[in-house]
Structure 1
């Protein structure tokens, strides 16, 4: 299988903090989402008024504040003991009100995350709460009363009761709003009744019956118009209501999940954001950021058109968007009159039309829209639930179906039902036996499927055109999939399992287990050998049908990062993707990043996905780990200030049972080497205690500080190279600022001792980088250049010049540029110096080349903290496997991680990147120089390292494809601190 699939989960976060773990317990890999229980999110997700923040709540009662622009979690608010039902920001976004099933209302300070006070007084379940515009008053609603609260004191001001004479209660109220002048509180019910209370007196001054105005279901307030009218969003209209005149103006409005293209060439994955993948190559064709929506959920369902030219996105609110499958560009947008999200979409066979269904089961109402995809027009609407005949005629017109027996069966069921909604995923209720049903796949040519409630034990009935064929004894099967040959059927459930049946006989085959959450999506591979499943656990998983074994799982995140992982724990990841995955051992949680050295293996992952034979697994995370040490920086005190630039840092590592293999200290992101100039490291072994795993190792580092804040980060490794979670400490140097110098080591080899290895642009590219900074080095007091070209670029000389860089100062910047041949052997990458004549001989490469491990050691000992390593390496002589670049990626990423420096590398076959004469440089260096000249600056005035990295990642594949018809993807890894390279404006 040559494919890589990814699926998005909203707002992934990292947990930190460790206590000793038991190595014998089975590790569990999981996605640490903002909230692990989606069932608690429903109505408890709200945007701040300025749109800067998002507040979400899980079923445990925890509230998380997010920064919308970056997707970063800001704070976690803890205080409620049960699921939240409502939240509201004050109009100035300074405060947040939250309502819980624990019958309390809490007021929070958004800036600090602290609870200010709790409002207690409701005896019944509180449905929701709203702020007055002036922020002085809050209104809360339960099924019996509305309470007004003084925000400043927490005191209850007054209570509005239902009209007991008419048996009225407030359970039907769907929304409340204060008037802009704070004088009135207005409520609206799901039945359409509007009531206005005077806040000062509590008097009911206006009451309007829904039937005098409009036919709406679960209406909602949109606000007040400039002339004082209440704006209401109904099911199919927007209504402007003059409260005192009791008049209304009604304006009709026209406003994860996996699908495979009909030609079986593409798969669309997403849970909010979408990515399109080529099934033949496994490459991403395009990705699409979640189209914005009022409720913040985005469009989370999708469907391919029959001709595979278009993708229709739907699912949130009442919006559908049509996209070009080839480019990912939006072509048209469709907006329904209906308030509720679209539940299902079906295309006509000719691709000219789409049918969308919007349904409110509780209100027993449904709307089906017929859309003209080419005109972006609404050609038909049916909004009467029981008008099955009209629905059937519409669907028949769209589908031109000949399977009339299927519709006759549906007609018979309609006659026995209270209400009936006919479209993909239909729901209806049988009044005779008080059961609810859902119909699946009404456009299948041979069968029709019915799901029978109650939901805790759903029965699946399979019918052909005339009779019942079989009943499947399934679980809570809310998700299904079928092979195109009708050989197999899949069911997915809230019980986290997937069941495979022979279709249509109903014979049970096997159960697939492994997901940690409810199954939300299922599909078969075109060859019917594999299954893809999506779940609320944040993963998409690939399964082997014949064995039932999981092959790999795929996770994407809203920050663009992603991870692909095999069951043994081997993974491939984007530069920062691993930070979003955790490993739980007992009650302790580790980041997958802690297992990077052992389990980061892109070649193994690619082999598994492509169905290739792989070598025996060396490590298996499921068999357990040796728990890492508990590491801590014990001195100096946090946030200390120093007037001199030398400080002693003491690091303690306590054995938790897995031993202590290594202690590392990073200064402002840069690793401190054993031989770093100006650094003195003194190990202080501590005798082991009588308890197993009780030993401690202490190291002290004498380190030169840089101006301003200095951040130190310590980690340690167990004997099996499992890394601990870090401990950080910040101190400040108050001494006068020092000058910042730039040091450049440029190596370019055009002429090798073996002429067969000669290149055309390695030496000119290196000179191009050097000349740029000689002319544009204005940010730095002094630019010092060390150049090594051709026959002078021997192993001995290159290492000598690397050691020379140890004389730099902590505040300085270092740029290392290597252009020549490179090779990967195992987990190591080697730079090929001038004198190495036979790079196809592994022994020669290992003894005469310069390995990534050697580079790591020399770089750690360089005192300068701001470091960027640029590598343009051609593959020399060796035959490239299908995983070209994956071998280099592990070695070079590990080089970045172990040293704390930035690395941008382009590894290519032969002279792939060096033979573009019209550019004057190799494509990699050309792209680098274009970015440095200003294109990477964006709207800013400087080009920083991370801006340059982003520019290279985005532009290099496009430029190489333009000139060489094959995209080249760089290895980009950023572990050090960002710093500016050049001023461009």
Structure 2
């Protein structure tokens, strides 16, 4: 019998108190090959070649969790009849059953030689091609060369029989809804069995001669259990189950069929080929086709159980969702991994021809720690390398020079130089402190796999996919030695400590070898026999006498270099080991790999400690010089920081592509870029929560400094604790027609879920609109609900109305939205600008040079390029005019004349101040920046401005702030900067507007005489002059183009002018819209 592992859960009941999970919206890294829809149609499970299955919330598209444990591609899956369990089958010949609510594995069945396949039928291994649950919950079925029926939940085998002897096996498996029939598809034939006694009842062969041996066959039972629909390359036909007679032909020829499905009501049939999806009526008529226009192939298509959606799994690693009535795309299930810039490395891991090099390049994913332990460096940010500050999480330097992604890199011993090898075949030596290129060697035409300095850094050794190893002079770039490897490409290459020998770990079909060559003769002098798969990592001991290797065969080995013999073999990993290194005293070894667990071993081979937390394969490990912290990095872009004293993770840093990043501690507190928050959310059981629901309490721009001060030990109440005591309010939204076509009545139902509700928020196309407090009655008791009614004036086109509620603990409900389309002609928009610039202050020490010219220049450029508006009004307040009274009066005046269709832009250049977690705009009469009582009388607090902006009806609003602070120590300014960043973010979120601001306190809004402006406004004006007009260039500069330009250019220019990058604060809420247009 097969090997069975049954894992008994301590309890089948999980309350709201179970541990909350932080989920990164990663998506699949490799092809999605199968899907299953939960019985309630709320969730989708996907199986992928990346060795994982994932659960998604269909409505929101959020990734709920990953099911990790398979050691090869997951190729099939199915939900149990009650949706509580998920079964997965993989190319590791393993079937696993998981609890959906927790992700816990409860049963594992490994098909091995003991199943009887080898004994009865000779050579070869038994496959798993499909799995299915009995609709009645009594058993599950696995399919390969044989059918196996297993008891559920116990896992005892009930019945087995052969269906397709050979390496491939049968392709597909189906069970009727009533559980009375089992169908197996193989080689254009479907065999139907009666489950009562497992006897074959029908064998449905091709109706005409078929030359397609081994072609894929799929089938599905009708919901009424009366018919079976068979799909092959030859045809798609419905047969009656009584006599197996053909009833309806849907297609007489269908190339490269991948799946067939039927809607829950039996009215529609869905077929998928590698390129096209077709929907048919149950009468056989073609309704419409969906052509996803993919570079890859469609692997499967399924109806949701509601029948409203068609889900399409693809080779491009995503699931596309279409409206089942119109065929229009409405959504997709994907994550940041699906949208990363691949840096010109376009090898398709799903292609037979590219799969090997794609796999090898995938695991070139290393991190470097600077000599001072303050920064980390990594490649594969498009074609760039990035260096970021560990203490802030922010990028401080980019290395731009490779035409394709940098794959390998090493610092010089003093940390002043950086050596890199890229996918473009180039070797580049850099000034590591400035990012300048010292010289470039175009050494290869294929990707560089490894690059290192020799012991005195006079030479560079490198190896490439082209099968060669080269040694170059590190000063001139001249090639000194060339090795042509007959054994295959060197995945790892390293010079011995005495610089006399070269270690190479080569790739090749059944020839993966670890060898040592003498440099002058090029001869192999040692072959280290033992590893049976790719050697991914090599490290020498300090004295050069020992060699440590990590391999995809699952082992780590310690070698005696003098003899070539292994001294110790370390086993215990499940799957490939990607990295191993000595601890600083060389008394132990750290290792990690495909099983996502970091292990620390003593030299006797005993595991002393493990570090568990990654959910993707770990490819890099670094020990800090003081050995107090371990840094690990995985394929999904997550870098974790572990306290070695406690063995606990105290924070993680996540890169989401080239620009976005986030840091987070285990309690759920976070900091990061505005765009990063779309890729992270929280899950409790099956309930998902967006990060923004916890923004008020858990967004902490000062998170990392506080973590390092406390070493992760704090008394912060985590998200789990908040949810237990103060669950978010419930919210529902609906609309009714208004008195005429320009109006609608909005109804918002608010439910108290156990915590007092503090406020209601309502947004129209992303812009906050005032709540009529006289009509609002908030529920005060648990489970009580109230309804708020609001009459809304609609704009022409789509009106998106969004509502959310916040409780006393500052936990927000998940926003709910409804769309209303209005067609009443609309009005032409007017652009209103209020430009405030203050050079002159009552306090002479606060006088600025460029605030007024900056405001004047901004108004001028928008006026010159504002032809897209019906008209444009520029209102200004400069110097002594810019008093608190005048600024508030002007905002009230504009609120009386601005309409919904109009655009409002508020530009402010002057001082800003952050005191007691409140941000203040400083009018001309203010004389003290950090006196709270004075500021409350003389200045304008951000919440006051927020209320004024709510009263301005324009749905499209932008605030631009070039505000600076002065005075105080660097440490004090840094603290104020973190609070200022949060205050500006809250202003954007609460008012539903776009905010773009210079970094005022933390990084100084700097004035440069040579620019004639503050640096931020200098770049802002260049952007509006057309520099920010992105692809496709259409003469317009939109909000998001402007944001992207400032996010890129401000740090780049401040790096050049100050030697340190500054980062603007850019937060976007509401609609994108063009700010200017170039008439030329």
The answer, yes or no, to whether TM exceeds 0.5 is: yes
| Deviations, residues 714-767 of structure 1 (Å, cap 9, x unaligned) | 222233222222222111221122121112222222222222222222223222
1:356 aligns with 2:467: no
**Residues 1:968 and 2:968 aligned together:** no
SS of 2:946's equivalent in the other structure is helix
SS of residue in 2 equivalent to 1:750: coil
1:816 deviation in Å?
0.8
The Cα offsets for residues 834-857 of structure 1, whole Å up to 9 and x where unpaired, read as 232222323323443322222222
Q: Identify the match of residue 896 of structure 1 among 978, 988, 993.
A: 988
Distance of 1:910 and 1:281 partners within structure 2: 14
Deviation of 1:958 after TM superposition, in Å, equals 3.6
* Partner residue, 1:954: 1048
Q: What is the Cα-based RMSD across aligned positions, in Å?
A: 5.3
The equivalences for 1:456-467 within 5 A come to 458=555, 461=558, 463=560
Partner of 1:979: 1073
- State yes or no: 1:868 paired with 2:958: yes
Number of the residue aligned with 1:669: 766
Corresponding residue of 1:239: none
Q: Does 2:322 align with 1:322?
A: no
Q: Does 1:701 align with 2:790?
A: yes
Answer whether contact 2:1003 2:1062 (CA < 8 A) is retained. Answer: no
Q: Which residue of 2 aligns with 1:268?
A: 377
Distance 1:950 1:383, change over 3 A: same
Are positions 1:634 and 2:730 aligned together? no
Aligned residues: 778
1:835-846 map, 5 Å: 835-846=925-936
Deviation at 1:526, TM superposition (A): 3.5
Higher relative contact order (CA 8 A, sep 6+): 1
1:121 aligns with: 186
1:726 maps to what in 2? 815
What TM-score results when the alignment is normalised by the length of structure 2? 0.62
Match of 2:867 in 1: 778
Residues in 2 aligned to 1:569 and 1:699: alpha-carbon distance in whole angstroms: 32
User: Distance between the aligned counterparts of 1:399 and 1:613, measured in 2?
Assistant: 37
Distance between the aligned counterparts of 2:888 and 2:718, measured in 1? Answer: 37
Query: Displacement, 1:588?
Result: 1.0
| Corresponding residue of 2:120 | none
Q: Does 1:682 align with 2:775?
A: yes
Conserved 8 A contact 2:590-2:598: yes
Change over 3 Å in CA distance of 1:879–1:84 after alignment to 2: same
Measure the CA separation in 1 of the matches of 2:642 and 2:189: 47
CA distance in 1, matches of 2:353, 2:480: 24
Match of 1:510 in 2: 609
Could you tell me the TM-score, scaled by structure 1's length? 0.67
17, 23, 35: which is aligned to 1:30?
A: 23
**In structure 2, distance between residues paired with 1:472 and 1:234:** 29
Q: Which of 752, 761, 769 is the matching residue for 1:655?
A: 752
Q: Contact (CA 8 Å) 1:748, 1:820: kept in 2 or not? A: yes
Once residues 234 and 686 of structure 1 are traced to their aligned partners in structure 2, the CA distance between those partners, rounded to angstroms, is 58
Residue 485 of structure 2: aligned partner? 382
Q: What's the CA shift string for 1:306-355, capped at 9, x where partnerless?
A: 787454446x8xx7543454448794566578xxx987665554564434
> Could you tell me which residue of structure 1 aligns to residue 676 of structure 2?
577
Structure 1: gaps (5+ residues): 1-20, 46-54, 65-70, 86-98, 107-117, 126-135, 160-175, 177-219, 224-230, 237-255, 359-366, 411-416
Q: 1:804 to 1:449 in 2, by over 3 A?
A: same
Quick one: distance in 2 between partners of 1:826 and 1:422? 64
Partner of 1:942: 1036
Contact 2:188 2:232 in 1 (8 A): no
User: Which residue, out of 916, 924, 928, partners 1:834?
Assistant: 924
**Residue 601 of structure 1: aligned partner:** 700
- For residues 655 and 748 of structure 2, the distance between their equivalents in structure 1, rounded to whole angstroms, comes to 35
Distance in 1, matches of 2:33 and 2:1051, equals: 42
* Aligned mates of 2:23, 2:832 — CA distance in 1: 43
Native 8 Å contact 1:802 1:858 kept in 2 = yes
1:483-498 equivalent positions in 2, closer than 5 A = 483=583, 486=586, 488-498=588-598
Partners of 1:383 and 1:305 in 2: CA distance: 31
Aligned equivalents of 1:453, 1:614: Cα separation in 2: 34
- Once residues 1040 and 550 of structure 2 are traced to their aligned partners in structure 1, the CA distance between those partners, rounded to angstroms, is 53
Following superposition, the deviation at residue 403 of structure 1 comes to 8.4
The answer as to whether partners of 1:836 and 1:848 remain within 8 angstroms in 2 is yes
SS at match of 1:932: helix
Q: How does 1:182-261 map to 2 (within 5 A)?
A: 257-260=365-368
* Residue range with higher mean Cα deviation, 907-916 or 948-957: 907-916
Between stretches 594-603 and 465-474, larger displacement belongs to 465-474
State the partner residue of 2:741: 644
Residue 401 to residue 322, structure 1, CA distance change in 2 (3 Å)? closer
> In the superposition, relative to structure 1, how do residues 876 and 299 fare at CA in structure 2: closer, same or farther (>3 Å)?
closer
How far apart, CA to CA, are the structure 1 residues paired with 2:658 and 2:184? 37
The CA deviation at 1:578 is 1.2
| SS of corresponding position for 2:857 | helix
1:441 aligns with 2:538: yes
Give secondary structure in 1 for the equivalent of 2:728.
Answer: coil
In 1, the alpha carbon distance for the partners of 2:403 and 2:214 equals 29
Q: Decide whether the 8 Å contact of 1:490 with 1:498 is kept in 2.
A: yes
- Report what 1:520 is aligned to: 619
- Paired residue for 2:515? 422
Deviation at 1:428, TM superposition (A): 7.5
- The change in CA–CA distance for 1:858 and 1:23 in structure 2 (over 3 A counts) is farther
Deviates more, 1:842-851 or 1:935-944: 842-851
642 and 300 in structure 1: CA distance in 2 versus 1, 3 angstrom threshold: farther
Does 2:1019 correspond to 1:927?
Answer: yes
Tell me, in whole angstroms, the C-alpha distance in 2 between the residues paired with 1:234 and 1:483: 35
Is contact 1:553-1:565 (8 Å) kept? yes
- The structural deviation recorded for 1:486 is 3.1
Residues 767 and 1070 in structure 2, CA contact (< 8 A), matched pair in contact too: yes
More displaced 10-residue stretch of structure 1: 305-314 or 571-580: 305-314
Q: Is the partner of 1:919 in helix, strand or coil? A: coil
Q: 1:623 to 1:791 in 2, by over 3 A?
A: same
Q: Using the alignment, how far apart are the partners of 1:454 and 1:765 within structure 2?
A: 63
1:141-186 CA distances to partner (integer Å, 9 max, x unpaired)? 689xxx9823776679999xxxxxxxxxxxxxxxx9xxxxxxxxxx
Q: Distance in 2 between matches of 1:901 and 1:539?
A: 31
The alpha-carbon deviation at position 829 of structure 1 amounts to: 1.2
CA gap 1:673/1:463 in 2 versus in 1, 3 angstroms: farther
The runs of 5 or more residues in structure 2 that have no matched partner are 1-13, 36-46, 67-73, 79-87, 92-127, 132-142, 144-169, 173-182, 191-209, 218-230, 237-249, 257-273, 275-347, 358-363, 518-525
Q: CA–CA distance in 2 between the matches of 1:695 and 1:452?
A: 60
1:544 counterpart = 2:628: no
Q: Per-residue deviation at 1:905?
A: 0.8
Asked if the contact 2:378–2:386 (Cα under 8 Å) also holds between the matched residues in 1, the reply is yes
Aligned to 1:743: 832
Q: Is the 8 A contact 1:441 1:448 kept in 2?
A: yes
Q: Evaluate the alpha carbon distance shift between residue 641 and residue 491 of structure 1 in structure 2; reply closer, same or farther with a 3 A threshold.
A: farther
Distance (whole Å) between structure 2 residues aligned to residue 794 and residue 731 of structure 1: 42
Report if aligned partners of 2:17, 2:720 keep a CA contact under 8 Å in 1.
Answer: no
For 1:537 and 1:850, locate their aligned partners in 2 and report how far apart those are by CA, in whole Å: 44
2:914 matched residue in structure 1? 824
Structure 2 vs 1, CA of residues 755 and 864 (structure 1 numbering), >3 Å: closer, same or farther?
same
- 1:46-125 alignment, distance < 5 Å: 81=78, 101=130, 120-122=185-187
Alpha-carbon contact 1:264-1:279 (below 8 Å) kept:
no
SS at match of 2:667: coil
Distance verdict in 2 for CA 1:642–1:902, change over 3 Å = farther
Q: 1:487 to 1:263 in 2, by over 3 A?
A: farther
